Amino acid sequence: MNIRKLLLPLLLLLALPIHAEEACQPRGTGDLGIIIERETGSLQVVNTTQRKSLARLEGLGDLSHASAVFSRDARHAYIFGRDGGLTKVDVLCGKLVKRIMQGGNSIGGAISQDGSLIAVSNYEPGGVKIFSAEDLSLVADIPATPIAEGKNSKTVGLVDAPGQRFVFSLYDTGEIWLADLRQPDKPAIQKFTDIGVQPYDALITPDGRYYIAGLFGEDGLALLDLWHTDNKPQRILDHYGKGEEALPVYKMPHLEGWAVAGGRAFLPAVGHHEVLVADARDWQQQAKIKVHGQPVFVMARPDGRQLWVNFAFPDNDAIQVIDAETLQIIKTLKPGKGALHMEFTPRGEHVWVSVRDEDKVLVYDTETLEPLTELPVKKPSGIFFTSRAHQTGL
């Protein structure tokens, strides 16, 4: 036996596992997250303690408007792509686990209370599909109300709710559906009709009690009390734009990541340069805050002391920070053109901001309001940290 012939495979054997271990450390994932690179169909796995990128994954398809949820052990991310792709990523090891094409055109998803089911909301064909979180096999299909030959209403604002339920809204037919998946292959669906014109997105309060759908076709929102589902959804903040002319909307606002702080709820006004302030107990309007442009995301720092707001085209170069107590704007930041998304670290000392047109993510200190770190990221959009794993509705 030639010793050199033996040595090479031996060396290779030794080298391989060491390399694999490096990528997949025995560590927790609580300070990790992902950043979507919308144009290249890729994402970066990041560490929020070290403020650096750990890995880059490719081959995730069309990620414009992509969003993500996390498994309850915070190890896996499920990414919902615009092209109908559903991808399971191992955040700890920085690798793609499985990818399926589940529909033609999807808009977001949710993970069930017990972490066993993934729900995906689709524009085409309109409806919600339920998958096993384990292997992404199809568990149930819930087509939305038909609106034309072979066409169903688009579904939006899909969230999880306590009791192994999912809640979503039907854009074209103005409905809210509550799907109970305690028997996963036999969803029991309760439908609420006539909730308002063109619900475009929705949120659920962190306690999982109220589901609120924003309406595009009307000034107001529809609120469903999940503790009392015998009652019809109720209209709140009706006619908030009264007496003012609505501006054209160049980007639909998002209600996910909306804010409750100090007993008040803060929401983006559609077609107005305003953040709406409501009492979070009775949902009566308390005030409006004039801001730089049409708000897209209104997000509360985890301690509720500040609100961070970004804006629709053509004002998407700025971010405003609002004091949640005085309702005054503390500072207008100019991170750069295409400031699309923000994500706070779990306890809010930093916020990560994606700046699409400048191919970077900026990390701000939320006390000094100064940028601390800049990371190169190709056309970044959504930023999602694993702390979402334990929050209803995220």
Partner 1 sequence: MKSLLTVTTVLLCMALPAKAETGAVADIPLSRQAEIRYLLKQDCGSCHGMQLTGGLGPALTAERLKPLPESLLTATILKGRAGTPMPPWETFLSEVEATWLAQQLRAGTALQEETP
Q: What residues line the site for ligand HEC (CB under 6 A)?
A: 249-250, 252
CA angle 345, 347, 350 (to 5 degrees): 40
Q: Is the CB of 198 or the CB of 387 nearer to ligand HEC?
A: 198
Which of the choices partner 1, ligand HEC, none does residue 301 contact, using the CB cut-off of 5 to 8 A by kind?
none
Which of the choices ligand HEC, partner 1, none does residue 283 contact, using the CB cut-off of 5 to 8 A by kind?
none
168 binds partner 1 (CB under 8 A): no
| Whole-number Å distance between alpha carbons of 360 and 341 | 12
Which of the choices ligand HEC, partner 1, none does residue 263 contact, using the CB cut-off of 5 to 8 A by kind?
none
Interacting residues with partner 1 between 89 and 108 (CB under 8 A)? 105, 107
- Residue from 31, 47, 62, 280 that binds partner 1 (CB under 8 A)? 62
Which of the choices ligand HEC, partner 1, none does residue 235 contact, using the CB cut-off of 5 to 8 A by kind?
none
- Residue 34 near residue 341 (C-beta atoms within 8 A): no
- Residue 350 near residue 309 (C-beta atoms within 8 A): no
Whole-number Cα distances in Å, 140 to 127, 136, 170, 182: 11, 11, 18, 12
248 binds partner 1 (CB under 8 A): yes
Q: Is the CB of 66 or the CB of 270 nearer to ligand HEC?
A: 270
Instruction: In angstroms, give the least distance from the CB of 251 to ligand HEC.
Output: 6
145 binds partner 1 (CB under 8 A): no
- Residue from 51, 302, 313, 323 that binds partner 1 (CB under 8 A)? 313
Instruction: In angstroms, give the least distance from the CB of 221 to partner 1.
Output: 16
**Part in contact with partner 1 (CB under 8 A); list of ranges 50-58, 223-231, 246-254, 258-266:** 246-254
Instruction: In angstroms, give the least distance from the CB of 124 to partner 1.
Output: 6
Instruction: In angstroms, give the least distance from the CB of 250 to ligand HEC.
Output: 5
59 binds partner 1 (CB under 8 A): no
200 binds partner 1 (CB under 8 A): yes
Which of the choices partner 1, ligand HEC, none does residue 80 contact, using the CB cut-off of 5 to 8 A by kind?
none
Q: Is the CB of 28 or the CB of 314 nearer to ligand HEC?
A: 314
Contacts with partner 1, residue ranges (CB under 8 A)? 38-39, 62, 64-65, 82-83, 105, 107, 123-124, 154, 171, 198, 200, 216-217, 248-252, 313-314, 338, 356-357
